[in-house]
């Protein structure tokens, strides 16, 4: 079970620090040591500074992280800013032969959003990409690597510009059109971004609360981001 960190106040922090690649050290001929990447996922850390906590907020933070030093090993915390939408590029489009696919060619207009199936939160849509899918084939969509804190993307497609309908979502980086063709009576892409990242963290260290006024305290917390 993961606890959710929610002190009711946003921190100040230099988010987006340089990633650290997780590596193993492999003994070799002395005095040399080979450092080999352990995987393709980087490690990110964040230092959160709370400059003016009330007594109640300070006690909440102390209580929360004392709990983590017990049986709990990680926690969930959502940074205050929404995930950036994929506004820089449309999806990559391809087609593949599939039994039962429509027997005529279709001109498709496609875009996507970053999406959280658990909460329904979503970003604004990407620019559109276009493709002509030929007879006996179906559309295949590929999107860029998910940003940190994003677990899925949602597909919007249609045959008329500005009438791209919701087709479904995928937790992979690809989506394939069903042989029944595109949906045409679902919702259109949202006009605003409300997707907050679903991020899991491990607690590293916490500074001792420093009194800055008669009833305010400053604290710094260091977190390590975990990947599901």
Domain co-membership, 20 together with 42 = yes
Express each pLDDT in 199-223 by its tens digit. Answer: 788 888 899 999 999 999 999 998 8
CA distances from 47 to 129, 192, 224 (A): 39, 29, 9
Q: Is 8 within a domain? A: yes
Domain co-membership, 151 together with 97 = yes
Percent of the chain whose predicted confidence (pLDDT) is above 70: 83
Q: Is 189 within a domain? A: no
Q: Is 181 within a domain? A: no
How far does the chain reach from its first CA to its final CA, in angstroms?
A: 13
Q: Is 164 within a domain? A: yes
pTM of the model: 0.67
Residue 69 pLDDT: 72
Domain co-membership, 109 together with 164 = yes
Chain length of the chain: 228
Residue 16 CA to residue 74 CA, distance in Å, equals 20
Domain co-membership, 217 together with 157 = no
Q: Is 47 within a domain? A: yes
Residue 148 pLDDT: 73
* 130, 107 contact by CB (below 8 A): yes
Q: Is 185 within a domain? A: no
Domain co-membership, 11 together with 43 = yes
Domain co-membership, 74 together with 99 = no
Q: Quickly count helices (H) and strands (E) in the chain.
A: 1, 15
Domain co-membership, 104 together with 172 = yes
* 21, 40 contact by CB (below 8 A): no
Q: Is 20 within a domain? A: yes
Residue 15 CA to residue 88 CA, distance in Å, equals 21
Domain co-membership, 117 together with 164 = yes
Tokens of 184: 């045409």
Domain co-membership, 132 together with 160 = yes
* 221, 79 contact by CB (below 8 A): no
Beta strand pairing call for 75-76 and 3-4: parallel
Q: Is 30 within a domain? A: yes
Q: What is the residue range of 32's domain?
A: 3-79+199-226
Domain co-membership, 145 together with 171 = yes
Q: How many CA atoms lie within 13 A of 78 on its CB side?
A: 15
Residue 63 CA to residue 7 CA, distance in Å, equals 11
pLDDT (tens digit, 0 to 9) for every residue of the chain, 228 residues total?
678 888 888 887 554 444 444 455 555 555 665 555 545 445 677 788 999 999 999 999 999 988 877 666 788 887 777 888 999 999 999 999 999 999 999 999 999 999 999 889 999 999 999 999 999 999 999 999 888 778 899 999 999 999 999 999 999 999 999 999 999 999 999 999 999 887 788 888 899 999 999 999 999 998 887 765
How does 15-44 read in b/e, with b if 16+ C-beta sit within 10 Å? eeeeeeeeeeeeeeeeeeeeeeeeeeeeeb
Backbone angles phi, psi at 226, to 5 degrees: -105, 155
CATH number of the domain bearing residue 12: 3.30.200
Residue 67 pLDDT: 82
Number of domains observed in the structure of the chain: 2
């Amino acid at each position: 079970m993961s606890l959710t960190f929610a002190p009711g106040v946003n921190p100040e922090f230099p988010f987006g620090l340089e990633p650290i690649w997780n590596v193993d050290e492999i003994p070799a001929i002395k005095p040399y040591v080979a450092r080999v990447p352990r995987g393709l996922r980087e490690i990110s850390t964040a230092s959160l500074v709370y400059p003016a906590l009330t007594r109640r907020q300070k006690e909440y933070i102390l209580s929360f992280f004392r709990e983590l030093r017990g049986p709990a090993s990680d926690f969930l915390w959502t940074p205050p800013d929404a995930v950036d939408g994929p506004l820089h590029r449309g999806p990559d489009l391809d087609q593949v032969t599939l039994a039962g696919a429509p027997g005529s060619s279709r001109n498709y207009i496609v875009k996507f959003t970053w999406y959280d199936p658990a909460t329904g939160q979503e970003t604004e849509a990407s620019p559109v990409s276009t493709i002509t899918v030929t007879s006996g084939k179906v559309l295949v969509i590929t999107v860029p690597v998910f940003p940190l804190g994003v677990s899925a993307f949602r597909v919007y497609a249609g045959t008329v510009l500005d009438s791209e309908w919701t087709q479904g979502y995928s937790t992979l980086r690809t989506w394939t059109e069903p042989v029944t063709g595109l949906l045409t009576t679902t919702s259109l892409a949202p006009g605003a971004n409300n997707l907050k990242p679903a991020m899991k963290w491990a607690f590293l260290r916490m500074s001792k609360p420093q009194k800055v006024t008669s009833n305010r305290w400053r604290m710094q917390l260091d977190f390590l981001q975990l990947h599901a």
